[in-house]
Amino acid sequence: MSANDFFFLLSPSPTTMLGTALVLLLVYFFSSRNQDCGKEPPGPRPLPLLGNILQLDPHKPHNTLCKLSKKYGSVFTVYFGPKKVVVLAGYKTVKQALIGQAQEFGEREITPLTMALSQGHGILFTNGDSWKEMRHFALTNLRDFGMGKKAAEETIIQECQYLIQEFEKHEGKAFDTNHLLNYAASNVISSIVYGSRFEYSDPQFQAMVDRINENIRLAGTASTQLYNVFPWLGNWIKSSRTIRKNIKMNVGDMRDLIRHLKETMNTHMCRGIVDSFLIRKQKEENSGVLDSHYHEENLIFTVANLFAAGTDTTGTTLRWSLLLMAKYPHIQDQVQEELSRAIGSRQVGVEDRKNLPFTDAVIHETQRLANVLPIAIPHITSQDVTFQGYFIKKGTPVYPLLMSVLNDESEWESPHSFNPAHFLDENGKFVRRDAFMPFSAGRRACLGESLARMELFLFFTSLLQYFRFTPPPGMTEDELDLTPAVGFTLNPTRHTLCAVRQF
């Protein structure tokens, strides 16, 4: 054997490497399918290596999954490449899994993307004792710093005034509401986390919010889905590189903010969640606690998770609400008539919700129709489980299809139309519906739900008191597009509205 032959064996050609990889993937694919002991959920026949990728709409996979549920039922299997996923569709099925069998379906799937987003720390993309401790800490402190209480209400009302001032600067001319609504929502969670808000013109604040929004948009693109299926492609996929870059920059900014809070901290006056975490961290260090969960990386990514979750979904839902008011002016008329009759010109408060049933119904119907999070952040089974007669193996990714709950034809009278009557009884009183599940459910339900509900109510009512929202000049209501843009969450496509002062 010559030296060249020897080095050829050590350095196989790209074709040889690709062939080897394909063989290994095929062995894994077929062996994993044959390991199941029991009847697995049905689903479309997958192709080797590719699975069912070619059958899914890469830009709107939730739509394809809803269509597949019509054929295969409320529990079915799809393959994202070689990865087998169980999809749960419809209100009763999702409720049974996430609430009735919360322990078995309560773990989080950790994908290449979510590992990049949190690096195994924080709340959203972790499991085990660290997740339990960080979730408990965050929930306790959100409540301590006002979630669901008067303190949070005052913070939101103050932010409403700043937002109204920004809207007024446009003097009734058409503008894109996207940035301002995201900044307002972000400032509410920032006040609770850091103990203070940011000016809308603060370049660091703008950059942090914009990076979060870009990452959430990119997380729903076909290229990022491909990265999750074949992570070794990561360096060649632009969206995954951009996501990692944005995370690195936001983590750097958060470290700077936390460093400043640490330098100015007074242990006798807790300003926000960061202070509370730092005080707890210091106590555990002084007590010699081993393997403490209160370390800097958990602080950084817990703050990052709260900041992202408290910005995107609330800001996006508010954007949908204003677009729908411009799209359906007769609904806007009824909201403003109710506000004028029940409130007048004074500031709306949380206690006014019971006197504003139609307005409350409009907000809920906006959340239902917009279905901002069409697929819940993926779960994974914590153990082997038999569910509705099907065997699902431990470690199987599970996708609760929230869109199918909010559009469930057996639960909603007109699921595909904007109909506030879904939340009103025959006497015009507000009624809450069991199938209203925009915040998911069970162990992984949104921990800031009560804060988000308060924000949506106060921001929406305050804006509708002051402004009439209309399409830009030259455009009719019918021309306003309700098609959502591509993203992990469903945002309205880019548009402008006019906010005309009412008095």
For residue 20, what pLDDT is reported? 43
Strand pairing category for 379-380 and 397-401? antiparallel
Q: Over 80: is that where the pLDDT of 246 sits?
A: yes
Backbone angles phi, psi at 397, to 5 degrees: -60, 140
For range 346-355, the mean pLDDT? 96
Question: Nearest 5 degrees, angle CA 247-CA 251-CA 257?
Answer: 150
Residue 374 has pLDDT above 80, yes or no: yes
Task: Name which of 111, 44, 112 is nearest 72 in CA terms.
Answer: 44
Residue for token digits 């199941």?
Answer: 36
**The pLDDT of residue 11:** 38
Q: Please write the tens of the pLDDT for every residue from 278-309.
A: 999 999 999 888 889 999 999 999 999 999 98
Q: How confident is the model at residue 98 (pLDDT cuts 50, 70, 90)?
A: very high
The band of 226, judged by pLDDT with boundaries at 50, 70 and 90, is: confident
Q: Of 126, 83, 38, 33, whose CA–CA distance to 384 is shortest? A: 38
Using 50, 70 and 90 to split pLDDT, how confident is the model at 315?
A: very high
For 215-237, give the DSSP string.
HHHHHTSHHHHHHHH-GGGGGG-
Give the Cα separation of 199 and 23 in Å (integer): 56
Q: CB burial class (10 A; 0-12, 13-18, 19+) of residue 55?
A: middle
Which is the CATH superfamily of the domain at 146-196+311-370+419-503? Cytochrome P450 (1.10.630.10)
What DSSP string describes 455-483? Answer: HHHHHHHHHHHHEEEEPPTT--GGGS--P
CA distance 466 to 462: 7
- Which pTM was predicted? 0.91
Closest-CA residue to 186 (of 156, 216, 215): 156
pLDDT confidence of residue 10: 32
> In the chain, pLDDT over 90 holds for what percent of residues?
78
CA dist., res. 365 & res. 484, Å (int) = 16
Q: Could you report the per-residue pLDDT of 129-148, keeping only the tens digit for each?
A: 999 999 999 999 998 887 76
Distance from C-alpha of 436 to C-alpha of 310, rounded to nearest angstrom: 20
Taking residues 307-333, what's their average pLDDT?
96
Q: Token pair for residue 428?
A: 């015009």
Interstrand relation of 83-89 and 397-401 (parallel, antiparallel or unpaired):
parallel
Residue 37 banded pLDDT, cuts 50, 70, 90: low
- Residue 484 sits at φ, ψ, to 5 deg, of -75, 150
Contacts by residues 91-96 (CB-CB < 8 Å, ≥ 24 positions apart): 91/404, 91/405, 91/408, 91/410, 91/411, 91/434, 91/435, 91/437, 93/388, 94/400, 94/401, 94/402, 94/404, 94/405, 94/437, 94/441, 95/434, 95/437, 95/441, 96/387, 96/388
CA distance 11 to 212: 42
Q: CB neighbours of 286 closer than 8 A, spacing ≥ 6? A: none
Q: How confident is the model at residue 361 (pLDDT cuts 50, 70, 90)?
A: very high
CA distance 28 to 194: 47
CB contact at 8 A, 364 and 406: no
Whether the CB-CB separation of 254 and 122 falls below 8 Å is answered with: no
Decide: 378 and 109 in contact? Cβ < 8 Å.
Answer: yes
Residue boundaries of the structural domains of the chain: 146-196+311-370+419-503
In terms of Cα–Cα distance, which of 83, 114, 103 is closest to 229? Answer: 83
Q: Rounded to whole angstroms, what are the CA distances from 410 to 87, 144, 415? A: 19, 40, 9
**Distance of alpha carbon 169 from the chain centroid:** 30
- 388-405: b (≥16 Cβ within 10 Å) or e: eebebbeebbbbbbbbbb
Which element (helix H / strand E) includes 107? strand 107-108
Average pLDDT of the segment spanning 323-351: 97
